[in-house]
């Protein structure tokens, strides 16, 4: 199970409005967007919680994508539901309503098939829960986490304790600056490295991403998209492609491997924004991914 990925995070129903339309109670959540991407490379197991209203077709879709749902608990009540609207530039999301519902009572407890996974991704949840999950793992070879400005403000001490124990941190520009109190991203990355993670990936939206490892930096542009329909979950999709590729590799402490992981993450996230929810990533084939990947890396001169 060394290449199996455990993801712990939210499974949600999202209602989203953009200039290209709207969707109501569509499949979403950090664990879902991550899994749809990562499962293209390695088997994925989700630990999460949903309500009795979680649609059966959504469950079937996830299972068809080589995603194990044995760790997805069903509780009496309703599934986590987020409602949001994007501005015309599709860069800023305005939250209209957040109903945590059963997610408010999420207390992950890992069974042996989950605790023995070789790769762990702690999606954006309470850092206290992230630390508790990590303590239940049986020595994963790669541990990665995500966070957000809310947790940096509310539970920074707990987050810093977590960072001392993980290999890789995903953050966006604003979060990196808030966490370190450094505006310059190079300085911010050095401060994060001092907290523990060997690798820091800073997501920069349509400006691409940056990776910091061993004093070296990789800056990679976003793949241009003609029509961005819905950016919800693009960051988690990027992380899924990145971690999925690393899970399929025998070793991740290799600069060339990390470059390729970044490229795959970028390509997967470029698919995710082309439609609402997981409509695009849910039906992706390996051939589509590899074709876009080859064209993307050729433009960057990555071998």
Q: pTM for the whole thing?
A: 0.96
Instruction: Report, in this order, helix, strand and coil percent for the chain, each rounded to 5.
Output: 40, 25, 35
**Per-residue model confidence as pLDDT tens digits over 188-219:** 999 999 999 999 999 998 899 999 999 899 99
Q: Do the beta carbons of residue 282 and residue 36 sit within 8 Å?
A: yes
pLDDT tier at 90 (50, 70, 90 boundaries)? confident
**Per-residue model confidence as pLDDT tens digits over 258-280:** 999 999 999 999 999 999 999 99
As a whole number, mean pLDDT of residues 278-292 equals 96
- 93: helix, strand or coil: strand
Question: What is the pLDDT of the chain when averaged over all its residues?
Answer: 95
pLDDT tier at 251 (50, 70, 90 boundaries)? confident
**Per-residue model confidence as pLDDT tens digits over 232-245:** 999 999 999 999 99
Q: What are 148's two structure tokens?
A: 């957000």
Handedness of CA 43, 135, 237, 100 (dihedral sign): positive
Per-residue b or e along 171-191, where b marks 16 or more CB atoms closer than 10 Å to that residue's CB: bbbebbbbbbebeebeebbee
Q: Which domains does the chain have, with CATH numbers?
A: 5-300 (3.40.1190.20)
In angstroms, rounded to a whole number, what is the distance separating the alpha carbons of residues 277 and 259?
27
């Amino acid at each position: 199970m060394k290449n199996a990925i455990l993801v712990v995070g939210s499974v949600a129903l999202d209602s989203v409005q953009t200039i290209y339309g709207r969707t109501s109670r569509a499949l979403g959540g950090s664990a879902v967007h991550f899994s749809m991407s990562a499962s293209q490379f390695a088997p994925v197991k989700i630990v999460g919680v949903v309500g009795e209203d979680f649609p059966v077709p959504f469950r079937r879709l996830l299972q068809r994508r080589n995603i194990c749902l044995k760790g997805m608990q069903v509780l009496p009540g309703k599934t986590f539901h987020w409602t949001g609207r994007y501005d015309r530039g599709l860069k800023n999301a305005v939250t209209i309503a957040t109903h945590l519902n059963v997610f408010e009572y999420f207390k992950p407890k890992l069974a042996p098939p989950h605790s023995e996974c070789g790769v762990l991704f702690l999606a954006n949840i309470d850092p206290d829960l992230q630390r508790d999950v990590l303590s239940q793992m049986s020595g994963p070879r790669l541990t990665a986490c995500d966070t957000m400005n809310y947790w940096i403000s509310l539970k920074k001490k707990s987050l810093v304790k977590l960072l001392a124990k993980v290999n890789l941190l995903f953050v966006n520009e604003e979060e990196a600056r808030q966490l370190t109190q450094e505006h310059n991203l190079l300085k911010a990355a050095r401060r994060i490295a001092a907290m523990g993670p060997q690798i820091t990936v800073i997501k920069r939206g349509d400006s691409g991403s940056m990776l910091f490892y061993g004093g070296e930096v990789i800056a990679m542009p976003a793949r241009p998209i003609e029509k961005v329909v819905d950016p919800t979950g693009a960051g988690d999709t990027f992380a899924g492609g990145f971690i999925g590729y690393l899970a399929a590799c025998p070793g991740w402490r290799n600069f060339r491997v990390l470059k390729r992981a970044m490229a795959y993450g970028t390509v997967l996230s470029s698919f995710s924004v082309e439609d609402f929810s997981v409509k695009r990533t849910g039906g992706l084939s390996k051939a589509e991914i590899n074709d876009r990947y080859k064209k993307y890396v050729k433009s960057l001169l990555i071998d």
